[in-house]
Amino acid sequence: MSLLKQIGSQKLLSFSLLAVTLACGILIGTLVSTGVSAARGQTAAPDATPLVIPPVTRLSNDFTKLAKQLEPSVVYISTDFTPRPQTQSRRRQAPQQEGEAEDNMDLFRRFFGQMPNAPQQPDRRFRREGSGTGFLVDRNGYIITNHHVVERADAIKVKLPGEQSGATYKAKVIGFDGESDIAVIKIDAGRPLQAVRFGNSDSVQVGDWAVAIGAPFGLEATVTAGIVSATGRDLIGAEQFQRFIQTDAAINPGNSGGPLVNINGEVIGVNTMIATRSGGYEGIGFALPGNMAVKVYNSIIQYGTMKRGSIGISFNKVQDPNVMKAFGYDSGVLVTDVTAGGPADKAGLKKDDVILALNGRPVKDGDDLVARIADMPVGSQVKVTFDRDGAKQDKPVTILDRMEVFKDDPRFARFRPEMENPGAKEEISTAKFGIGLKPLTGDWKEQNGYSEPSGVQVTVVEEGSFAEEIGIQEKDIIVSINRKPVNSIEDVRAVQARLKAGDAVGFKIARPIRALAGAQSARTNWGTIYVGGQMPRPE
């Protein structure tokens, strides 16, 4: 038995050695075959050396540090809005009021998420979405953005960096300043948020690095770098208080309201406008200086609006230097008009006076005068030195709120929130279509050039209502419903009561086309359209 065991053990050992030898041979054969196949497969460039991907390394510079520092503070803003009918642009004429501006040129565009020249349906309003950028300036959720990003919004949503996809916060408008295009909005995130740091924009010099952060075309957290190309840029079409920082950092639609920062990560401006012929980036962008944004923000969180001082005068924006020389001066402001009842009028200033100094400090020109008076506290006094018929005089003038001084001037109406006629609310009644209605008076028809014998005016269109869905707008006149003339609110209610879910309903609407330019009574042309739909089922 022992001999048999010995023979069996030798056979097992021999078999094991044979198996190992075969395995090694197969492995070597595979490697050789693979190498040969690889060499044979590289026929396109047999003498080329394959590239190798190196290990991951993190390169670092000032821009990467800056991007990481600012990323938590820059937010993405989306809005839902219903486009309003476009109105004819209003041309401004000299003389210029304190703060008045020229019309926008097509070259200069505010870069909101929706392109300004996008085609629109003239007779129906469809809810649309817009987008822009903002940045946190307070740990409690206060955000600075551009007014034009949120001014048309029915709803404002803010997405914070790092939040899960689709998570947004509803924002409310704290206040805005149309003349600087700055708005302050607020969200409640339920936790402290990381705010930006401001630098002093007066320190900005041409050639400084500039970094723009925003969401161009909805691409969140986009960082672009360039330099400051110019400072104090006065653009045709800009408002009185807008003197821009110009940069070549890439800025596109959707960057509106985002920060322009220096190499230290400090905000030096609010991206507001571009110069373009294509609608996109062409190397020239403009940001409102950070110092102005700070002033506007501080006023808004205190008063809900921007308060600026005024003395109530008008002047030509561009003064002929020869005229001033003929009067014996190289600088100063020639008064072309004085607002009746305003501070300057009460102090005794008149047309043709030449304002030379404020509190003993010479006035360079109209921009200098407006900027200095606007920064003075409302209610304070300023000593105005002026020339009248060759004789210098000094008068104390009390500074008042600019919007109060020019409250009756239609050129400033676009800077105020739209106000309802206080007496109109008593006349408004609501119909179940989701609209508020007001009967028409004979005087109203005569003043507005409305000649149809029937009709009631729409004063309110409820969000999400049947009326909104089919395109009825505020200020429309409902002339008839299903060919039945409408002469009162009761007529509308009677038609509503007879309609069932799924019934088709058609409205004949008279809609304002445009106000006749220069008309004292703002008479209106009216066009007729038809809108309709099927009555929805009750929820």
Is residue 521 scored above 50 in pLDDT?
A: no
Integer Cα distance of 115 and 122 in angstroms? 17
- Assess whether 234 and 271 both reside in one domain: yes
Integer Cα distance of 107 and 112 in angstroms? 15
pLDDT at 421: 37
DSSP string, 477-525: EEEEETTEE--SHHHHHHHHHH--TT-EEEEEEEEEEEEPTT-TT--EE
- Assess whether 360 and 253 both reside in one domain: no
Q: What is the mean pLDDT of residues 182-204?
A: 95
Looking at 253, 286, 304, the residue that finishes a domain is 304
Which one-letter amino acid corresponds to residue 358?
L
- Assess whether 206 and 169 both reside in one domain: yes
8-state DSSP, 423: G
The CATH code of the domain that includes 245 is: 2.40.10.120
- Assess whether 350 and 377 both reside in one domain: yes
Q: What is the mean pLDDT of residues 471-494?
A: 90
Least confident of 80-84, 194-198, 315-319, 329-333: 80-84
- Assess whether 403 and 455 both reside in one domain: no
Q: Has residue 33 been placed in a domain?
A: no
204-214 core/surface letters (b: 16 or more CB in 10 A; e: else): beeeebbbbbb
Is residue 94 scored above 60 in pLDDT?
A: no
DSSP string, 433-468: TTEEEEEPPHHHHHHHT---S--EEEEEE-TT-HHH
Cis peptide leading into residue 119 (ω within 30°): no
Q: Has residue 35 been placed in a domain?
A: no
The CATH code of the domain that includes 484 is: 2.30.42.10
Q: Has residue 485 been placed in a domain?
A: yes
pLDDT tens figures, 396-454: 999 999 888 887 776 666 666 543 333 333 345 566 788 888 888 887 888 788 888 88
Looking at 348, 381, 415, the residue that finishes a domain is 415
Structurally, how many domains does the chain consist of? 3
Q: Has residue 74 been placed in a domain?
A: yes
pLDDT tens figures, 499-516: 888 899 999 999 887 543
Which one-letter amino acid corresponds to residue 168?
T
- Assess whether 76 and 131 both reside in one domain: yes
Q: What is the mean pLDDT of residues 457-476?
A: 86
SS3 (DSSP) at 215: coil
Look over the chain and give the mean of its residue pLDDT values, rounded to a whole number: 79
Statement: the pTM of the whole predicted model exceeds 0.75: no
- Assess whether 132 and 260 both reside in one domain: yes
CB 319 within 8 A of CB 191: no
Q: Has residue 71 been placed in a domain?
A: yes
Least confident of 217-231, 303-317, 318-332, 517-531: 517-531
Return the active site residues: 148, 181, 256
Q: Has residue 44 been placed in a domain?
A: no
Q: Has residue 15 been placed in a domain?
A: no
- Assess whether 250 and 326 both reside in one domain: no
- Assess whether 366 and 448 both reside in one domain: no
Is residue 201 scored above 90 in pLDDT?
A: yes
Whole domain around residue 127: which residue ranges?
60-84+92-304
Integer Cα distance of 323 and 199 in angstroms? 41
- Assess whether 244 and 117 both reside in one domain: yes
Looking at 399, 415, 431, the residue that finishes a domain is 415
- Assess whether 122 and 241 both reside in one domain: yes
- Assess whether 313 and 297 both reside in one domain: no
Is residue 395 scored above 90 in pLDDT?
A: yes
Q: What is the mean pLDDT of residues 97-126?
A: 41
Q: What is the mean pLDDT of residues 463-482?
A: 88
Distances (CA, A) of 124 to 95, 240, 469, 506: 39, 35, 9, 14
Comparing 517 with 145, which gets the higher pLDDT?
Answer: 145
Distances (CA, A) of 74 to 67, 150, 153, 300, 301: 10, 16, 20, 20, 20
